[in-house]
């Protein structure tokens, strides 16, 4: 009988931690994109400023550390799997890694500027000049993470629950398919850093784009 003190038990604890941190991270990602952003569009300046100073920093703390713990526990699980990587896990892992990168190196640094600017204005000072560009950068990366999250969750789930999941070292055609998938993902990540919101500007738009991206990536897995 396996217990938590066995190697299988330790591996399960990391898997459980991966789920727990991931739910925290993605839940807050959806809160930011589906609730807070839409509220900020309608809120008056005083209420929006107060939320940016007092609510947003608290939410971002859980958000960024949820992302970090999801990534770190995921790395451990990938190490444990090593020779048993499936196509699905490879796609899900690259999406999750880019999402964690966006959190720590795009969203969080730019949100720090936005928070500092709101705090300075509330104290009677002038807004920070860089805040005007920081908010759209954070918003684009956050919307892109929402886009990525939909296929990421699909592929992480399908790796264990669908018969189409394939071990990479057993499928000769997987390389061409993975290259095509990674090119699409890379192009979307470049857009997350330097591009435009496009159809992702609305909640409905980013959900539809995420579902379409999932269908395209799955189609490449099955057809190539």
pLDDT tens, residue by residue, 200-219: 999 999 999 999 999 999 99
Residue 56 domain flag: yes
Q: How many domains does the chain have?
A: 1
Q: What is the DSSP letter of 26?
A: H
pLDDT reading at 140 higher than 60: yes
Q: What share of the chain is helix, strand, coil (3-state, %, to 5)?
A: 85, 0, 15
Distance CA 189, CA 158 (A): 23
Tokens of 9: 């038990």
Beta bridge partners of 86: 167
Residue 197 domain flag: yes
b (16+ CB within 10 A) / e for 63-97: bbebbebbbebbeebeeeeeeebbbbbbbbbbbbe
Distance CA 23, CA 63 (A): 10
- 54 C-beta neighbours (distance < 10 Å), count: 12
Average pLDDT score, the chain: 92
* DSSP helix/strand/coil, 167: strand
Q: Pick the range with the lowest mean pLDDT from 140-144, 165-169, 190-194.
A: 165-169
pLDDT reading at 49 higher than 80: yes
Residue 107 domain flag: yes
Residue 1 domain flag: no
Specify the pLDDT at position 135.
96
pLDDT reading at 88 higher than 60: yes
* DSSP helix/strand/coil, 172: coil
Specify the pLDDT at position 70.
98
Specify the pLDDT at position 1.
58
Say how far residue 167 (Cα) sits from the centre of its chain.
Answer: 25
Confidence category of residue 169, pLDDT binned at 50, 70, 90: low
Domain that holds residue 14: 7-223
Longest Cα separation, the chain: 65
Residues 100-120, mean pLDDT to the nearest whole number: 97
Residue 184 domain flag: yes
Q: Which residues, in sequence order, are CB contacts of 51 under 8 Å at separation 6+?
A: 36, 39, 40, 43
Confidence category of residue 222, pLDDT binned at 50, 70, 90: confident
Give me the half-sphere count of Cα atoms (radius 13 Å) on the Cβ side of residue 74: 23
Residue 49 domain flag: yes
Residue 113 domain flag: yes
pLDDT reading at 173 higher than 60: no
Distance CA 25, CA 73 (A): 13
Specify the pLDDT at position 5.
82
Distance CA 188, CA 144 (A): 8
Put simply, whether the predicted model's pTM sits higher than 0.85 gets the answer yes
Tokens of 86: 């499936």
Residue 2 domain flag: no
Give me the half-sphere count of Cα atoms (radius 13 Å) on the Cβ side of residue 126: 3
């Amino acid at each position: 009988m396996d217990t938590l003190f066995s190697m299988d038990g330790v591996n399960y604890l990391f898997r459980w931690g991966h789920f727990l941190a991931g739910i925290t991270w993605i839940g807050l990602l959806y809160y930011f994109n589906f609730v807070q952003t839409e509220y900020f569009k309608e809120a008056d300046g005083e209420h929006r400023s107060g939320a940016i100073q007092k609510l947003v920093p608290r939410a971002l703390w859980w958000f960024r550390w949820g992302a970090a713990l999801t990534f770190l526990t995921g790395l451990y699980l990938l190490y444990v799997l090593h020779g048993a990587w499936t196509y699905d896990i490879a796609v899900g892992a690259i999406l999750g890694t880019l999402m964690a990168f966006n959190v720590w190196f795009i969203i969080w640094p730019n949100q720090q500027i936005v928070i500092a600017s709101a705090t300075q204005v509330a104290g009677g000072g002038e807004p920070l000049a860089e805040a005007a560009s920081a908010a759209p950068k954070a918003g684009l990366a956050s919307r892109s993470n929402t886009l990525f999250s939909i296929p990421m969750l699909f592929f992480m789930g399908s790796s264990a629950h669908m018969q189409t999941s394939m071990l990479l070292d057993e499928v000769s055609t997987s390389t061409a398919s993975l290259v095509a998938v990674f090119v699409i993902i890379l192009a979307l990540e470049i857009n997350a850093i330097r591009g435009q919101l496009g159809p992702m500007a609305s909640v409905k738009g980013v959900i539809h784009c995420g579902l379409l991206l999932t269908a395209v990536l799955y189609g490449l897995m099955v057809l190539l």
